[in-house]
Chains A and B, each alone.
Chain A
Amino acid sequence: MSIQIASKEIKPLRLNYAHIARRMGGDTKPASRYQEAVLDVQPTTNFHYPPTWEPNKQLFDVTRTAIVMNDWHTFADPRQYYYTSYVTARAKQQEVMDNSFEMLEKHGLWKTIPDSVLNTIRQVLVPLRHYEYGANLNNQDICDRGYGAPITSLASFNGFDRIGMAQYISRIALLIDENEETSLQAAREAWLHDAAWQPLRHAIEDSFVLDDWMEIMVAQNIVMDGFIYPLIYGRIIPQLANQGAGALLMLTQFMSEWYDETVRWSNQLMKVISAESPENASLLKQWVSTWTARIEPAITPIAALALGDQASAVVASVKQELLTRLGKNGVAV
C-alpha cells in the first residue's frame, strides 16, 4: 500500500499590515523586516502636549529642519538595518575586533612598534576618542529631534557605533601603555589645550548647538567624518603600518569597515534629499560648503602631527574626494 501525500496550500488573505500595503502600492508581496521596522513608525498626529522647552513646535515636528520633504519615508537605509540586522552585524564585527586585541596582547605584537610611531599614535589617534564621543552626542540629538523613522533610527545606531569606536580607541591606548592611563590623560589634555586640536574641538562644539538637525547630519556625518576617516584611517594609519605599526591595521579594522558603510548610506541620503527639490539641494550645498571651509583648516594641524609638511596636500586630496563623491549624489559644491 502506498501513501499519497498531497500538499494543500492555504493562501493568507493578507500579506502585510494595511499601512505597509499602502506604502508598497498593493498587497502583492510580503514586506521585508526592515520595511516593517521603519515604514510609518514616525508619529505624525495627536500629540497631547506641545513640548515645554519649545512651545511653538509639536513634539514631533517637520519644521525643526529647513529641509522640506513631501514624504520623509522616501529615504531607505541601503544597509537595511533594523534592530536585529544591526545587532547581528555588529556582534560579528565585535568578535573579530576582540580576537585582534586578544592576539596582539597575547603575543605582545605591539612591542615591535618603534617608539616614534607609538608617539604618533598617542598624539593623533587617541584624542579622537573625544571626537567620537561628540559624534555620538550629535547623532543622538538627530535621533531625538529629527523626523522620519528611516533617518532617526539610522542616527541612533550611528550614535551607538561612535561610542563603540571611542572605546576601541581607548583600548588601543591602554594596550600600548600596558594598562596605564598616561596616554588617555595626555590625550584629554591635548584635546582641551593643545593648539593643534582646538579648531576641531571648536567646530564640533559649535555643531552641538545647531538648531537644524539636518545641518548637524551634514556637518557631522558627512563633512567632518568625510575628512577625518579618510585622513586618519585611510592615509595616516596605513602609513604608520608601513613604519612598523602593522598591528594597528587590525585594531582599526572596524573603523574602516564602518566608514565604507557610512559612505553608502550618506550618498543615498544626499541623493534622495537633493532630488526632492532645488531648495533642498541648495541648502545641502550651502551647509556642505560652510562646513568644508570650516573643517579643512581645522584638521590640517592634526594631519601635520603625523604627516609634517605633506599635511596640506593630503587634506586637500581628501577634500577633493569628498566633494567629488557628493557631486555625484546631487550636491555639487
Chain B
Amino acid sequence: MSEQKVFLIFQDTADARPFIEALEQENPAATFDYQPGMVRIDGMGELKVTRDVVSEKAGRDMDLQELHLTLVSLSGNIDEDDDYFSISRH
C-alpha cells in the first residue's frame, strides 16, 4: 500500500449522507472538507466503506452501487464487491 492521496467527492445531499457518515466511521484518518454543495473526502493510501455500515446509517439495506448516484468525482484505483467499495493506489 503506497501512501499516496486518494479522494472521493460526494454531493452534499441527504442521499449521500449514509455514505459520508460510513466513510467517516470507517476511515478515522481521512479528512472531510465541506465545500459549497459537495463534500470532499481525502485519504492517504486507501478509503473504504462496507455495505453493512452504510446500511446501518441509512436504516435500510443499501446497494453500494447507489453511491454513484451522488458521487461527483473520485481518484484512485477502485476495488469493489457487493459488500465493500474501496479506492487505493496501486
Contact = CB atoms under 8 A, between A and B. Distances in A.
A80 B36 CA distance: 26
B14 A80 contact: no
A89 interface: yes
A106 to B, nearest CB: 30
A89 B36 contact: no
Contact of B36 (A9, A32, A33): A9
Main SS of the interface on chain A? loop
Contact of B17 (A9, A10, A32, A81): A32
A78 interface: yes
A7 interface: yes
B35 interface: yes
Contacts of B59: 34, 77-81
Interface string A9-46: 11000000000000000000000111000000000000
B60 A89 contact: yes
Interface of B: 14, 17, 35-36, 56, 58-60
Given A7-B36, A78-B56, A79-B60, 14 more contacts: A9-B35, A9-B36, A10-B36, A32-B14, A32-B17, A33-B14, A34-B59, A77-B59, A78-B59, A79-B59, A80-B58, A80-B59, A81-B59, A89-B60
14 contacts: A9-B35, A10-B36, A32-B14, A32-B17, A33-B14, A34-B59, A77-B59, A78-B56, A78-B59, A79-B59, A80-B58, A80-B59, A81-B59, A89-B60
